[in-house]
Amino acid sequence: MFDPQESSVKHIFLWKKFVFAALVTICFFVFIEVVLGVVGVKPYTSLNDPFVGFSYFQPLFVEETQSDGSVMMTTAKNKLKFFNAQNFPKKKGPNTFRIFCLGGSTTYGRPYDDKMSFSSWLRAFLPVADPSHQWEVINAGGISYASYRVAELMKELGQYEPDLFIIYSGHNEFLENRTYQHVQEIPWVIVGLTEILGSTRIYSAMKYVIDKAVPSSSSQAQKKYQMTGEVQEILNQSVGPEAYQRDDLFEQDVIAHFKFNLERMVAAARSVGSEIIFVNPVKNLKDISPFKSQIDEGLTGDKRKRWENLYISGTSLFNSGKYGEAVNIFQKALVIDSRFAHVDFSLGWAFFKLGQFGEAKESFQRAVDEDICPLRILTPMIRDLRSVTEKMGVPLVDFQSSLEKIYARDYGHTIFGEEYFLDHVHMTYQGYRLLALNLLDELVRQGTVKPVPTWNDEAIAAVTKKKEAQLDPEMIARSLFNLGSVMNWAGKLEEAHNLYLKSYEIFKNKETLIILGQNALRRENPTQAIEYFNKIVETYPGNHSAQEIAGLFENRGRSEEDMQRYREVHRLAEAHYGLGKALKKLGKNDDALNNFKEAVRIVPDSLEMRQSLAESYTATEHIGEAVREYENVLKMNPNLFSEHVNLGVLLVISGEKEKAEPHFRKAIQLNPASAIPEYNLASVLQMRGEIQQAIDHYQKTIAKDPEYGEAYYNLGMIMQEQGRSKEAEAFFSKAKRIAPKSNQN
């Protein structure tokens, strides 16, 4: 007979068994997770990026043994193009609190260097606020570094006993070209599950074991877009913002990647027992227009014509001071095309002139979000930053809110501009000082910093005065010049001219005058160009290159005859070629490139000019164009050793290894004594899996140049892969003692 009471008891018993089994299982996995943590296994997501890979990643810091035998970590020389020179003891001293500041050029301290960065201000404030610790603040901000490079860098810095990472990141996410096709092909359910599992050490350990047992299981990693070891900005690979096109799907992928990297940074910090603080990045809204606007491609015919007329009419009304009418016209234009960034920017200024600051701020922000060349953090990314820090329980220093309070108090609005910004994202040194004080307040709130009673406004003022004494006119001029170069790089020629001119007024030098002249030419202002070039002759009579250039622009009149004379002179290739060489000597590679291009356009048969153009394309990292020009040069003269080597290297960088091989072989034929083409040929063969041939050519490299360190290192890698550990160790040991050589002639 059925007994309900007995059935209920059995049900409860089974339920208890299930709960007990679940608890045992959970406890088991928690125990395993703890054990793996103790033995040093790190979560997979703290180490790996499923979106992109890196073809190589050289360390930021290298060891440097001191006279007393101690070891300092110092910035590698090959990294000084992107990073400030920094150093710190490899072994952290007692009572030392070590802070790494990471991010892009704002963290670096642009337009200054580390001396005026927020890292430097924090370094100055901390020992005065709390002298009970030895404070180490290391500026690891990299110029143009995006979040995926910051996350990758944290893997290296984690080995140096960090106590705190400070992250200021978000402006550089669209700087480098890449693809997310492999991610788009993976179902979102799998992506989400992998993200959850990847945060555990058990997953990391299991994946390591499986990849070792079944090497082919890691083949999916090869599908990731491979980034270069250092930054390859889109703008540096092209003529400017024109390279950017509207791509909403790519934008969504970039934003998702940014969010993932924020989570990955937190995991990386926690995996080494370090704290982490994020900063909400700030940007110039009102005093820098969008870098590129793009009209709706579907807008054609009468509708497009009406939009164009509205935009022109609104601009005319604004310039006439009729701001209310301009608002009305710009809003009508936005009804037709809501995504043309410059209309929103113009609307923002019309509202601003009317004192309608709330509406102005919304319009300025939309202009940033619709910028086709987004060099400022976007609104969805700020939301993700807030969401991730809240979800993962890490501090977010809301610098934007702090700066808004200062703006509201001092200017009556909260729209950031030239008051604290020198360009689109880089602040004045006063801005970096404020950020450091905000970070210090957060450290006090956390209890990390325990301020002494003497820490007050007077103490802050004393530190500020001491830091400001480090500023000198030349440094300020150089910072303005650097910003001018940024604006020039982004195609904002008028803004670049104003910054260059301010720089020259503070610190007069011929370099800036030459750049001002070149900038005037690009802005199609020949009269101004003539004035600048002649000023070089008057001020620096010993500068023969400048004299030759200025002599071509001796007609200063404004008559049509004089302008015709100017146009005739402007077409002379030798003028552009000479100016290009002068600019190249000054390290102004972008401006040199423009002159060499013009020279070759006028005289396409000049071998010498084409060689200079090919070299200039390489120096400015326009790889495709450099390849094309070297091919043109070799058509004119196929027996040029250096050109074969350089073209081969560029083809390898472009992923065309098969095309590179014959150029290295030809270079060996032309100069049998040179080790450079031997090494490059060996590298290509190694990449193609022709290992024995690669070994033969590495050995030939060493026979030609016994000090070729990379050849020893690559031989060591091959021996290691073949299980020949003793031979590998010998090669690695030799490589360590030898300075690296260039692979390019």
Instruction: Give the ranges where 354-472 is alpha helix by DSSP (H).
Output: 357-369, 379-392, 399-411, 429-446, 457-468
Summary mean pLDDT of the chain = 82
Cα separation of the two ends of the chain? 95
- Percent pLDDT > 70 in the chain is 76
Q: What is the pLDDT of residue 153?
A: 94
Residue 668 makes CB contacts below 8 A (sequence gap 6+) with 674, 677, 678, 681
Task: Please give the residue that has the higher pLDDT: either 219 or 84.
Answer: 84
Each residue of 628-642: pLDDT tens digit? 999 999 999 999 988
Task: Please give the residue that has the higher pLDDT: either 159 or 561.
Answer: 159
Q: What is the pLDDT of residue 530?
A: 65
Q: Are 317 and 329 in contact (CB under 8 A)?
A: yes
Q: Are 292 and 241 in contact (CB under 8 A)?
A: yes
Q: Are 271 and 159 in contact (CB under 8 A)?
A: no
Residue 94's region, left for phi above 0, alpha for psi from -120 to 50, else beta, is: beta
Q: What is the pLDDT of residue 571?
A: 44
Q: What is the pLDDT of residue 379?
A: 97
Q: Are 98 and 138 in contact (CB under 8 A)?
A: yes
Q: What is the pLDDT of residue 104?
A: 95
Q: What is the pLDDT of residue 219?
A: 41
In sequence order, the β-bridge partners of residue 587 are none
Q: Are 107 and 137 in contact (CB under 8 A)?
A: no
Which has the minimum average pLDDT: 305-309, 387-391, 594-598? Answer: 594-598
Q: Computed from CA positions of residues 647, 653, 654, 660, in that sequence, does the dihedral angle turn out positive or negative?
A: positive
Instruction: Report, in angstroms and rounded to the nearest whole number, the Rg of the chain calculated over CA atoms.
Output: 30
Task: Please give the residue that has the higher pLDDT: either 578 or 559.
Answer: 578
Tell me the pLDDT band of 565, cut-offs 50, 70 and 90. Answer: very low
Q: Are 42 and 271 in contact (CB under 8 A)?
A: yes
The CA-based dihedral angle spanning residues 254, 255, 261, 263, taken in that order and rounded to the nearest 10 degrees: -160
Q: Is the pLDDT of residue 192 over 90?
A: no
Length of the chain in terms of residues written: 745
Strands in 396-397's sheet, in edge-to-edge order, are 134-141, 96-103, 164-168, 275-279, 396-397
Q: What is the pLDDT of residue 468?
A: 93
Tokens 């490139």 locate to 593
Query: Nearest 5°: phi and psi at 563?
Result: -65, -35
Each residue of 368-400: pLDDT tens digit? 999 999 999 999 999 999 999 999 999 999 999
* Among 150, 158, 393, 376, residue whose Cα is nearest residue 285: 376
Q: Quote the crossing angle between the two packed helices 544-551 and 510-522, to the nearest 10°.
A: 30
Domain boundaries of the chain, sorted by first residue: 4-39, 55-185+228-284+376-469, 301-369, 649-745
Q: Is the pLDDT of residue 453 over 70?
A: yes
What secondary structure does DSSP assign to 42-84, as a single string?
Answer: --HHHH--SSEEES----SEEEEE-TTS-EEEEE-GGGTTTS-
Distance separating alpha carbons of residues 375 and 174, to the nearest angstrom: 7
Q: What is the pLDDT of residue 181?
A: 47
Each residue of 20-34: pLDDT tens digit? 666 666 666 566 665
Query: Nearest 5°: phi and psi at 139?
Result: -85, 105
Helix, strand or coil, per DSSP, at residue 481: helix
Q: What is the pLDDT of residue 220?
A: 44
Query: Nearest 5°: phi and psi at 10?
Result: -65, -40
Q: What is the pLDDT of residue 547?
A: 41
Each residue of 414-448: pLDDT tens digit? 999 999 998 899 999 999 999 999 999 999 999 99
Task: Find the mean pLDDT for residues 300-309.
Answer: 92
Task: Find the mean pLDDT for residues 404-410.
Answer: 97
Query: Nearest 5°: phi and psi at 429?
Result: -65, -25
Encoded tokens for 116: 């005026």
Q: Is the pLDDT of residue 566 over 70?
A: no
3-state secondary structure 149-210: HHHHHHHHHHHHCCCEEEEECCCCCCCECCCCHHHHCCCHHHHHHHHHHHCCHHHHHHHHHH
* Among 438, 361, 389, residue whose Cα is nearest residue 170: 389
Same CATH topology for 55-185+228-284+376-469 and 649-745: the answer is no
Distance separating alpha carbons of residues 414 and 481, to the nearest angstrom: 28
CA 596 to chain centre: 27
Task: Please give the residue that has the higher pLDDT: either 532 or 139.
Answer: 139
Buried b / exposed e over 497-536, threshold 16 CB at 10 Å, is bbbbbbbbebbeebbbbbbbbbbbbbeeebebbbbbbbbb
Each residue of 117-155: pLDDT tens digit? 999 999 999 999 999 999 999 999 999 899 999 999 999
Q: What is the pLDDT of residue 111?
A: 87
Q: Is the pLDDT of residue 553 over 50?
A: no
Q: What is the pTM of this model?
A: 0.64
Q: Are 162 and 98 in contact (CB under 8 A)?
A: yes
Distance separating alpha carbons of residues 401 and 417, to the nearest angstrom: 15
Neighbour tally for 720: CB within 10 Å:
15
Q: What is the pLDDT of residue 215?
A: 46
Q: Is the pLDDT of residue 466 over 50?
A: yes
Distance separating alpha carbons of residues 142 and 81, to the nearest angstrom: 9
Q: Are 520 and 529 in contact (CB under 8 A)?
A: yes
Q: Are 588 and 496 in contact (CB under 8 A)?
A: no
Tokens 């001018």 locate to 484
Q: What is the pLDDT of residue 78?
A: 87
Superfamily of domain 301-369: Tetratricopeptide repeat domain (1.25.40.10)
Distance separating alpha carbons of residues 455 and 702, to the nearest angstrom: 61
Q: What is the pLDDT of residue 287?
A: 93
Residue 335 burial class via C-beta count within 10 angstroms: exposed 0-12, middle 13-18, buried 19 and up: exposed
Superfamily of domain 55-185+228-284+376-469: SGNH hydrolase (3.40.50.1110)
- Percent pLDDT > 90 in the chain is 46
Q: Are 153 and 251 in contact (CB under 8 A)?
A: no
Tell me the pLDDT band of 660, cut-offs 50, 70 and 90. Answer: confident
Each residue of 310-321: pLDDT tens digit? 999 999 999 999
* Angle ∠(143,147,148) on CA atoms, nearest 5: 105
Distance separating alpha carbons of residues 436 and 118, to the nearest angstrom: 5
Task: Find the mean pLDDT for residues 505-519.
Answer: 84
Q: Are 443 and 83 in contact (CB under 8 A)?
A: no
Q: What's 705's DSSP letter? A: -
Helix, strand or coil, per DSSP, at residue 269: helix
CATH number for the domain formed by residue range(s) 649-745: 1.25.40.10
The CA-based dihedral angle spanning residues 231, 234, 240, 245, taken in that order and rounded to the nearest 10 degrees: -160
Task: Please give the residue that has the higher pLDDT: either 86 or 586.
Answer: 86
Residue 217 makes CB contacts below 8 A (sequence gap 6+) with 210, 211
Q: Is the pLDDT of residue 267 over 80?
A: yes
* Angle ∠(469,475,476) on CA atoms, nearest 5: 90
Q: Is the pLDDT of residue 197 over 80?
A: no
Each residue of 614-629: pLDDT tens digit? 999 988 888 889 899 9
Q: Are 285 and 415 in contact (CB under 8 A)?
A: yes
